[in-house]
Amino acid sequence: MSALISGASSAGVALPQRASAKRTPQRVLPGFRLTLGYTVLYLSLIVLIPITALFFKTFTLTWEQFVFAVTSPRVMASYRLTFGASLIAALVNLVFGLLLAWVLVRYKFPGKKIVDALVDLPFALPTAVAGISLTALLAGNGWLGQYLEPMGIKLAFTPAGVVIALIFVGMPFVVRTVQPVLEDAEKELEEAATALGANRLQIFTKVIFPHIAPALLTGFAMAFARAIGEYGSVIFIAGNMPMISEITPLIIIGKLEQYDYAGATAVAVVMLVLSFVLLLVINALQTWQRRHTGASS
């Protein structure tokens, strides 16, 4: 638990903390006890108590019932789809989000402010609207779908559609975490590297990338976590076929429709634990990465 709190906070404000830690190793702000107390209380009220309630609801099941509820073939297939599609979507966002952030920070072009604002749209748009629009676009009679489907590319109502929807909702995370770090990067370092005879690839891999890697990983983790829980944008485009294109949140809704509260929460708990472990791994990776580059620079 404490690992999560420290991990999350260090992920969120990765850079300022590091910078201040360099200059002043001892605590600057007074009132540590008060702030810690507030942090724990607030987290308990908003996060821990609801999640505990979730766990308690599953305790009404026996162990056998629990295992049966969370390992039936349909549920297993939905885990594969949800986690697989989320991973692919987060990886795509990692690459293209970085590109987007790069362009927004390093170049000037007309309409840049508008493009910058557009990045936030997936945050603000109700996800169901996004799902419906994407479906309308990619379905066999949609603007894009009518050209793609004759070529044999079927996106709507397939797992590929799920990935596209998840890319859409996760896109701002990578851009918005990497952008400020890139802006912060000191141009002088690159100039020094050039003066010392480094080529562009070397500058990127040895100077820029280590600097932005923690932020990239944070953005990746957030895009991934967001995708796992995503429901609204996906159900319209997925086709929702059992064993093929059913996401885990839909399984949970299906169980609720059958008044199977305990079964629904059991699946939710499995999702929660799996994503928690994955986020911990990403956090650990981030810490390792920071230490690694911190030592080398």
Partner 1 sequence: MTSKLKTLLAALALATGGLASSQTLLNGSYDVAREFYKDYNAAFIAHYKKTTGKDVKIDQSHAGSSAVARSVADGLDADVVTMNTSTDVEFLANAGVVAKDWAKRFPGNASPTTSTMLFLVRNGNPKGIKDWDDLTKPGIQVIVVNPKTGGNGRYTYLAAWGYAKKKGATDAQAAEFVGKLYKNVPVLGKGGRDATTAFLQRNIGDVLVTFESEVVSVNKEFGEGKVDAVYPSISILAENPVAVVERTVAKKGTAVLAKAYLDYLYSDEGQEIAAKHAMRPYSQAILKKNAAVFKPIQLFTVQEMFGSLSEAQKVHFNDGGQFDKLYTVR
The C-alpha atoms of residue 144 and residue 140 are separated, in whole angstroms, by 8
Among 25, 195, 197, 257, binds partner 1 (CB under 8 A): 257
Give CA torsion, residues 47, 49, 54, 55, to 10 deg.
110
**Furthest-apart CA atoms within the chain: distance in Å:** 69
Our finding on whether 79 is near partner 1 (CB under 8 A) is: no
- Contact criterion met (CB below 8 Å) for 248 and 267: yes
Residue among 118, 253, 281, 284 that touches partner 1 (CB under 8 A): 253
For partner 1, the closer CB: 116 or 149: 149
Which residue in 101, 164, 250, 268 binds partner 1 (CB under 8 A)? 250
- Mind giving me the DSSP string for 127-179? HHHHHHHHHHHHSTTSTTHHHHGGGT---TTSHHHHHHHHHHHHHHHHHHHHH
Residues 186, 234: Cα–Cα separation, whole Å: 40
Q: Quote the least distance from Cβ 273 to partner 1, whole Å.
A: 20
Q: What number of other Cβ atoms are within 10 A of residue 240's Cβ?
A: 15
Among 97, 122, 142, 249, the residue binding partner 1 under the rule CB under 8 A is 142
Q: To the nearest whole angstrom, how small is the minimum distance from the Cβ of residue 254 to partner 1?
A: 4
Assess 10 for contact with partner 1 (CB under 8 A). Answer: no
Quote the CA–CA distance of 132 and 177 in Å, as a whole number: 28
Judged by beta carbon, residue 161 or residue 214, the one nearer partner 1 is 161
- Closest of 81, 272, 60, 248 to residue 159, by C-alpha: 81
Residue 161 lies near partner 1 (rule: CB under 8 A) = no
- Please tell me the count of residues contacting partner 1 according to CB under 8 A: 30
Nearer to partner 1, 25 or 73 (CB): 73
Site for partner 1 in 19-78 (CB under 8 A): 68-69, 72-74
Q: Kindly identify the residues of this chain, within the stretch 95-124, that bind partner 1 according to CB under 8 A.
A: none
137 vs 182 by CB, closer to partner 1: 137
Cβ–Cβ under 8 Å, residues 263 and 209: no
User: Per CB under 8 A, which of residues 188..217 are in contact with partner 1?
Assistant: none
129 touches partner 1 by CB under 8 A: no
Question: From the CB of 244, what's the least distance to partner 1, in Å?
Answer: 9
Which of 11, 156 has the CB closer to partner 1? 156
CB burial of 7-34 (b: ≥16 within 10 Å; e: otherwise) equals beebbeebeeeeeeeeeeeeeeeeeeee
Token digits of residue 87: 């991973």
Query: Smallest distance, Å, CB 189 to partner 1?
Result: 52
Distance CA 79, CA 87 (A): 12
Q: How far is the CB of 26 from partner 1 (least distance, A)?
A: 51
Residues 216-235 that bind partner 1 (CB under 8 A): 235
Question: Under the criterion CB under 8 A, does residue 128 sit at the interface with partner 1?
Answer: no
Select from 221, 263, 279, 282 the one that contacts partner 1 (CB under 8 A). Answer: 263
How far is it, in rounded angstroms, from Cα 135 to Cα 40? 42
Which residues of this chain interact with partner 1, rule CB under 8 A? 68-69, 72-74, 135-136, 139-142, 156-157, 235-236, 239-243, 250, 253-260, 263
